Structure 1
């Protein structure tokens, strides 16, 4: 009888806990702001997927090496609408990338990222993001737009430039400080923290191959060194 009493008490306690949990969970669904505790897997991961390094080495060897052209005629608007919804999912590319790369993401509605945490791939620091201070976390082009212009994008169609500027594979959420330092430099002039150099090189090479962009000799050699860190 004593054992039966203990079991009955435990069952009542569990039922009470379940009853409390249900309204709390339901309450979290109300309103326009949602919270994701983990967010999406960060595109700033420092670990490459299996086979990515070998593929990048092969692709790097096939990239054309060329000298930089001049900057004449370059303007940001030559690459079309900033953060256009080119993948037609209903959200602009900036919010897509923030939702992908941040953790602990808070949203308004389905698209607008209000807050989150960034494990900055370029510096290794943790950065708090809030929409009211949006410049703290910026969206960087891994292969910079102005550099792409100097390496041949000046001869592309407007549609191709716009697609390049809004391609998720060429976009990363990063801390504003190293992004301003990077500016339009290639890997021969600027490099991220050592822990991200392998993945950075893999991304850079993939974008260059996708858009048939050449690289300078110094960028080629730097990318080769970064891949050696994989």
Structure 2
């Protein structure tokens, strides 16, 4: 009987090469090359995932990772008493110009100057409150404020009846800025001032209302331990924006710093 042919060639049909046990050979390692390649990729991806988890865990443990989902404002500049006195010496002493002030001249409210879709109030709350929960990645739902003006803890919950319990204070009030030089600024400068984290502080709402636009000669925090930092921040902001102080304000600031 003649051997079988495979059609057009007319030659004998060749059987696949088989290894021991009759299994077709697929390479030196025995396993199909495609399968080995896929396994290697899966192992590599798993290792990368483990490394990323370790990095995130380290950043979280060291406080370098913010899990609230939002972008907190930068920490304000802090001056020693000596640095504050030097900056105070450089401020011009002049009478206030108490006319023409309107809040609207500092913009229509909180802005988003860094373009992250989260306004300045929310960024300051995220910076100044502890245990922050911001479920939508921006607006703070809950948190705890260690109020610098009273020294008391305030549990914050966002809501129509509760949000005002924690307010964002302008350490140098917008009206105070106007009286001491902001009347000569353009709108862009006033909006920048209004949203500057150096001049903003989350505080007890009723205490902020009682402060109003008073200068250091007229109002100081009830928490005496915070007065040095408070006056230092006022001086730094006034120096940063080339604002003036009047004689009573300058004298009050010097008295506070002398006791620091």
Q: TM range, normalised to the smaller chain?
A: 0.7 to 0.9
Structure 2 SS opposite 1:108: coil
Question: How many positions carry a matched residue from both structures?
Answer: 190
Residue of structure 1 equivalent to 2:258: 228
In the alignment, structure 2 segments of 5+ residues that lack a partner are: 1-56, 58-65
Q: TM-score when scaled to structure 2?
A: 0.68
Instruction: Give the 3 Å change call, closer, same or farther, for CA 53–129 of structure 1 in structure 2.
Output: same
Give the deviation of 1:41 after TM superposition: 11
- Mapped contact 1:142–1:171 kept (Cα < 8 A): yes
- Structure with the bigger RCO (C-alpha within 8 Å, sep 6+) is 1
CA distance in structure 1 between the partners assigned to 2:256 and 2:156 by the alignment:
29
CA distance in structure 2 between the partners assigned to 1:160 and 1:179 by the alignment:
24
Greater share of helix: 1
CA distance in structure 2 between the partners assigned to 1:103 and 1:120 by the alignment:
11
**1:80 pairs with 2:107:** yes
CA distance in structure 1 between the partners assigned to 2:197 and 2:175 by the alignment:
18
- Mapped contact 2:73–2:124 kept (Cα < 8 A): no
Structure 2 SS opposite 1:128: strand
Residue of structure 2 equivalent to 1:201: 231
Matches within 5 A, 1:93-132: 93-132=120-159
Alignment counterpart, residue 90 of structure 1, candidates 117, 137, 153: 117
Structure 2 SS opposite 1:85: coil
Greater share of strand: 1
Alignment counterpart, residue 89 of structure 2, candidates 61, 68, 73: 61
- Mapped contact 1:198–1:228 kept (Cα < 8 A): no
Residue of structure 2 equivalent to 1:3: none
CA distance in structure 2 between the partners assigned to 1:142 and 1:79 by the alignment:
15
Structure 2 SS opposite 1:172: strand
Residue of structure 1 equivalent to 2:80: 52
CA distance in structure 2 between the partners assigned to 1:91 and 1:67 by the alignment:
38
Structure 1 SS opposite 2:140: strand
In the alignment, structure 1 segments of 5+ residues that lack a partner are: 1-24, 26-33
- Mapped contact 1:82–1:166 kept (Cα < 8 A): no
Residue of structure 1 equivalent to 2:205: 176
Larger radius of gyration: 2
CA distance in structure 1 between the partners assigned to 2:148 and 2:188 by the alignment:
30
CA distance in structure 1 between the partners assigned to 2:75 and 2:252 by the alignment:
21
CA distance in structure 1 between the partners assigned to 2:197 and 2:174 by the alignment:
14
Please, what is the CA RMSD of the aligned residues?
2.3
Residue of structure 2 equivalent to 1:134: 163
CA distance in structure 2 between the partners assigned to 1:92 and 1:107 by the alignment:
13
- Mapped contact 1:97–1:173 kept (Cα < 8 A): yes
Find runs of 4+ consecutive structure 1 residues off by over 4 angstroms.
Answer: 40-44
Q: TM-score when scaled to structure 1?
A: 0.76
